[in-house]
Amino acid sequence: VKGSPPDLVAGALRGEIRALARLLTVLEGDWEAGAGEAMQLLTPHAGRAHVIGVTGPPGVGKSTLVDRLVTARASEASHRVAVLAFDPSSPFTGGALLGDRIRMGGRALDPGVYIRSVANRVHAGGLSRTAARLVTALDAVGYGTILLETVGAGQSEVEVAALAHTVLVVLAPGFGDEIQALKAGILETADLLVVNKADLPGAERVAATLRAEAAPRGESGAEACPVLLVSAETGAGIPELVAAIRERDEARSSGGGAERRRTRVRWLLEEAARDALWQRYARSHAGPLAAQTLRVLAGEIDPESAARRLIDEDLGIDGEGDDGKPDS
Amino acid sequence: VKGSPPDLVAGALRGEIRALARLLTVLEGDWEAGAGEAMQLLTPHAGRAHVIGVTGPPGVGKSTLVDRLVTARASEASHRVAVLAFDPSSPFTGGALLGDRIRMGGRALDPGVYIRSVANRVHAGGLSRTAARLVTALDAVGYGTILLETVGAGQSEVEVAALAHTVLVVLAPGFGDEIQALKAGILETADLLVVNKADLPGAERVAATLRAEAAPRGESGAEACPVLLVSAETGAGIPELVAAIRERDEARSSGGGAERRRTRVRWLLEEAARDALWQRYARSHAGPLAAQTLRVLAGEIDPESAARRLIDEDLGIDGEGDDGKPDS
């Protein structure tokens, strides 16, 4: 499959898997190299998919759980499911750990299921921006459910999860300590807290800790985030989890989550605008930038003061004649 | 202790611990609320400390290792050591896990050792910018070694580690899977790879995996990153680790790491300039920003196209009269 962005978009919209794969590769690349053109063509077709983030530390069984969720949704007539795997230790992402842990062999060949590893690729504009593009494309070509598998620690993980309509945070017995790490990031964005491997000892203790963390804080009328115990391995608790996800999907269809959507759009727009503004500025101010860098390296000024001086001195992003020298 | 930023800086430079604590709190706050004034006073005094990042997943024993390193350096005459703990699961950060894991009780009272938790605070300008300010302050007031304890996964973690002259990535037996997760982030920035709990079974296997990952890639003349086996609990291997760190410190004093320093300074400057530029732009373009947000929410345009249209339409960051409407 070769072709221009419009050809690839047309092919992907017709359901051609190889065109879709090529299209996603284009979307992972530079805006000017075709990603922008493709996004403009895809956007009018998007807006229906339910995007579900599945996040948690390596080892809690996220991939097995994702497999279960894929099977549950893909078994419905004409419902297509896509998985974007951002966890580099996920079996979906291939690599060294693929061998004994892969469970999706059959699924990957199922025409209703599309799986893509995004873990080890280079992302010019940040992981979350790439993720947003891929979600738009998969949504546009008709995947009704899009699962984002992420590790759930760190800023870019939180940003990827923020793309989801529904965020599942997954833990397992023996991962109680990780709750503290998650607290600093993803825990507060969770819609459903899932304790996997519920057949192992200690599951109830992890669930109790999560319930304490998930207790509503501050706002009156706030509801506690539900904690579900499941075993992705045996299937126990999976129907209840699928029902809870479906409930959220229905709430979304009837207008729920509008506030979150507004926040997400505003954030994606601002991040992109910030980058575009900076690129334009840096191109036209290479000299002053280099001069201030030297001053910081010489210990004359701290980086933040230098940055403020640079911007405050400037009168326009197309400004000329600024030699970067301080006023003093 | 109360006082203006200049008072706090003067007190901290005289060695007053309470003034230092207050000063760091000011530095964690807004630039305009005193952080900027303090940074300008501190910067001329900074530039001597050896900054060491200690990163790795929760559970590998980072805190015990940090304790060992603190003890090793603080036992030297007149050498002062500071620890900034960014790992929310670290015993240094207090919280739920404090009880049975804290080992620094004595150290925290040692006048040559200063410990600060940065994990759960709010950071207006990003964690790494706050970290850079705190490092400058601790450096300026005379801490010769500054240890940054971080989890090592995710973008902000990588950014914090990038502040260090020397990055230790710590793993332990049973954490082989985590190598994949670290690969996407911090592993390539490591200067020393440390396998802790080397007395436990499986340590040699983790070390072998790390050696394979750390093999020099591409560039001719590149050296493999050393892999050291230690037990922070028993002290085995610690003298060798301390020697390796000291070697890096001496290389730094004789001009090593200049390239990394340039990259770090450039990055801190650009991040701050990008923010300052954006704040100025967003203030003067609230209307067009809101208009484009609505267009994205309506599905008319994708966020990146909207952002580019916004910036490209604009002729100056103080521009007026832009109503945010598209040309078409």
Tell me the C-alpha distance between A180 and A177, whole Å.
6
Of A36, A151, A268, the CB nearest to B181: A151
HSE (side-chain half, CA atoms, 13 Å) at A80: 19
Judge: A307–B273 Cβ closer than 8 Å, yes or no: yes
Tell me the C-alpha distance between A50 and A194, whole Å.
19
**Residue A40: CB partners within 8 Å, gap ≥ 6?**
B301, B302, B305
At A304, list the tokens.
Answer: 């933040």
Listed residue (B255, B217, B238, B277) closest to B75, CA to CA: B238
Give pLDDT tens digits for B220-256. Answer: 555 778 999 999 999 999 999 999 999 988 888 777 7
Using DSSP's 3-state secondary structure scheme, residue A244 falls into helix
**Residue A35: CB partners within 8 Å, gap ≥ 6?**
A5, A26, A27, A28, A29, A133
Tell me the C-alpha distance between A20 and A27, whole Å.
10
Tell me the C-alpha distance between B196 and B65, whole Å.
8
Asked if this assembly's ipTM is beyond 0.90, the reply is: no
CB of A194 within 8 A of CB of A224?
Answer: no
> What distance, in Å, lies between the first and last C-alpha atoms of chain A?
61
Of B43, B132, B155, the CB nearest to A156: B155
Q: Per-residue confidence at B152, pLDDT binned at 50, 70, 90?
A: low
B262 to chain A nearest CA, in Å? 7
> What is residue B120's predicted lDDT score, i.e. its pLDDT?
54
CB of B39 within 8 A of CB of A305?
Answer: yes
Judge: A278–B281 Cβ closer than 8 Å, yes or no: no
HSE (side-chain half, CA atoms, 13 Å) at B39: 28
A88 touches chain B (CB under 8 A): yes
- What's the Cα-to-Cα distance from B188 to each of A71, A118, B66, rounded to whole Å? 37, 19, 21
Of B42, B183, B297, the CB nearest to A88: B183
B111 to chain A nearest CA, in Å? 28
> What is residue A227's predicted lDDT score, i.e. its pLDDT?
94
Strand bridging mode B50-55 / B81-85: unpaired
Judge: A269–B178 Cβ closer than 8 Å, yes or no: no
> What is residue B101's predicted lDDT score, i.e. its pLDDT?
31
**Residue B134: CB partners within 8 Å, gap ≥ 6?**
B24, B27, B28, B84, B116, B118
Of B132, B276, B311, the CB nearest to A276: B311
Chain A, residues 112-141, CB within 8 A of chain B, namely 119-120, 125, 127, 129, 132-133, 136
Strand bridging mode B145-150 / B50-55: parallel
Rg (CA), chain B: 23
> What is residue B174's predicted lDDT score, i.e. its pLDDT?
84
Residue of B nearest to A39 (CA): B302
A21 touches chain B (CB under 8 A): no
Q: How many CB atoms lie within 10 A of CB A282?
A: 14
Tell me the C-alpha distance between B229 and B194, whole Å.
6
> What is residue A147's predicted lDDT score, i.e. its pLDDT?
94
> What distance, in Å, lies between the first and last C-alpha atoms of chain B?
61
Give the relative orientation of helices B258-284 and A303-313 as an angle to the nearest 10 degrees.
40
Answer positive or negative: Cα dihedral of B7, B9, B14, B18: positive
**Residue B204: CB partners within 8 Å, gap ≥ 6?**
B229
Mean pLDDT throughout B194-215? 90
Q: What angle do CA B209, B215, B218 make, to 5 degrees?
A: 140
- Please state whether the predicted TM-score (pTM) of the whole model is above 0.80: no
At A298, list the tokens.
Answer: 């010489």
Range list of β-strands (E), chain B = 50-55, 81-85, 113-117, 145-150, 166-171, 192-195, 227-229
B40 touches chain A (CB under 8 A): yes
Best of B28, B32, B101, B269 to mutate (most A CBs within 10 Å, chain A): B269
Mean pLDDT throughout B65-89? 83
Tell me the C-alpha distance between A59 and A109, whole Å.
25
B24 to chain A nearest CA, in Å? 16
Residue of A nearest to B320 (CA): A316
Strand bridging mode B166-171 / B192-195: parallel
pLDDT at B275 over 80: yes
Judge: B305–A39 Cβ closer than 8 Å, yes or no: yes
> In which element (H, E) is residue A240 found?
helix A238-253
Q: A266 contacts in B (CB within 8 Å)?
A: 293
Q: Per-residue confidence at B88, pLDDT binned at 50, 70, 90?
A: low
Q: How many CB atoms lie within 10 A of CB A290?
A: 11
> What is residue A243's predicted lDDT score, i.e. its pLDDT?
94
Tell me the C-alpha distance between B244 and A152, whole Å.
33
Judge: A292–B276 Cβ closer than 8 Å, yes or no: no
Q: B266 contacts in A (CB within 8 Å)?
A: 293
Least confident span in A65-74, B260-269, B309-318:
B309-318
pLDDT at B327 over 50: no
CB of A116 within 8 A of CB of A86?
Answer: no
Of A183, A272, A281, the CB nearest to B88: A183
Strand partners, A58: none
Using DSSP's 3-state secondary structure scheme, residue B273 falls into helix
Q: Which residue has the tokens 């345009």?
A: B301
> What is residue A116's predicted lDDT score, i.e. its pLDDT?
87
Give pLDDT tens digits for A16-27. Answer: 999 999 999 999
Give pLDDT tens digits for B27-55. Answer: 988 899 999 999 999 999 999 999 999 98
Tell me the C-alpha distance between B180 and B268, whole Å.
28
**Residue B57: CB partners within 8 Å, gap ≥ 6?**
A57, B151, B152, B153, B171, B175, B178, B181, B182
Using DSSP's 3-state secondary structure scheme, residue A225 falls into coil
DSSP state of B31: I
A47 touches chain B (CB under 8 A): yes
Q: How many CB atoms lie within 10 A of CB A213?
A: 20
Of B301, B311, B318, the CB nearest to A43: B301
Tell me the C-alpha distance between A251 and A170, whole Å.
22
CB of A130 within 8 A of CB of A138?
Answer: no
At A249, list the tokens.
Answer: 């999907």
Q: A88 contacts in B (CB within 8 Å)?
A: 180-181, 183-184
Spans of chain A, pLDDT less than 70:
1-2, 87-111, 119-125, 152-157, 180-185, 215-222, 314-328
> What is residue B316's predicted lDDT score, i.e. its pLDDT?
47
